[in-house]
């Protein structure tokens, strides 16, 4: 099972490879990152790490035994005990439960390590895999939205406060 790790500087080469290899696959269900993301990836990665250092975001990668990145799970727009969840898994790793497991892990981290009390997420109505991951991990539909011009569903999940001994 891949290891969920907080994004670090040394992840840059594997993360760029992951994004390049899966660009077309991801673009079928989420907005494309655009050419600038890939052309200036070193600056993009540095900016993500700087943003993470402020506590405004928490970025995670799923790292395989060989160091290859197989997925990402991010918490963005952290404010007032809440954050927006986003995730993506490599095409070759899809359908193996990796997204479900990683989202569960990040939900636990969000409560225990980051002090969050709720998460939001959204996906398009034509993405049954993503909708299933959210449902399996305790998210409930909370409304309708439009994502990249396509109909979508918003989801919400309350997080249990960690128990103190």
pLDDT tens for each residue of 98-122: 999 999 999 999 999 999 999 999 9
| 120 is a domain residue | yes
Interval 77-94 mean pLDDT: 96
pLDDT score at 164: 57
Q: Do 60 and 3 meet the contact criterion of CB atoms below 8 Å apart? A: no
Check: CB of residue 11 under 8 Å from CB of residue 69: yes
Percentage of the chain surpassing pLDDT 90? 86
**Contact predicate 122/152, CB 8 Å:** yes
Report the alpha-carbon distance of residue 64 to residue 60 in Å, rounded.
13
For residue 165, is it within any domain? no
Q: How far apart are CA 71 and CA 33, in angstroms?
A: 15
Q: What's the whole-number average pLDDT of the chain?
A: 94
Mean pLDDT of 27-41: 88
H or E stretch at 103: helix 98-112
pLDDT band at residue 21 under the 50/70/90 scheme: very high
Distances (CA, A) of 87 to 103, 114, 162: 8, 18, 23
The answer to whether 121 touches 133, Cβ cutoff 8 Å, is no
Evaluate whether residue 163 is within a structural domain.
Answer: no
Domain encompassing residue 97: 3-158
CATH number of the domain enclosing 56? 3.40.630.30
Number of domains in the chain: 1
* CA 165 to chain CA centroid, nearest Å: 30
Domain assignment present for 164: no
pLDDT at 115: 96
For 140-165, the pLDDT digits (tens) are 999 999 988 889 999 999 998 655 55
Let me know if residue 49 belongs to a domain. yes
| 42 inside domain | yes
The answer to whether position 91 is within a domain reads yes
């Amino acid at each position: 099972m891949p290891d969920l790790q907080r994004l670090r500087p040394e992840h840059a080469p594997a993360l760029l490879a992951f994004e390049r290899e899966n660009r077309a696959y991801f673009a079928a269900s989420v907005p494309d990152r655009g050419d600038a993301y890939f052309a200036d990836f070193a600056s993009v990665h540095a900016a993500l790490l700087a943003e993470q250092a402020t506590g405004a975001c928490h970025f995670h990668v799923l790292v395989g035994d060989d160091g290859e990145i197989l997925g990402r799970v991010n918490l963005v727009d952290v404010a007032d005990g809440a954050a927006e969840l986003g995730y993506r898994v490599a095409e070759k790793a899809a359908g193996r439960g990796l997204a479900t497991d990683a989202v569960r892990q990040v939900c636990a981290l969000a409560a225990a390590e980051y002090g969050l009390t709720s998460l939001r997420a959204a996906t398009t109505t034509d993405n049954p895999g993503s909708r299933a991951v959210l449902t399996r991990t305790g998210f409930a539909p909370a409304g309708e939205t439009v994502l990249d011009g396509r109909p979508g569903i918003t989801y919400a999940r309350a997080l249990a406060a960690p128990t103190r001994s």
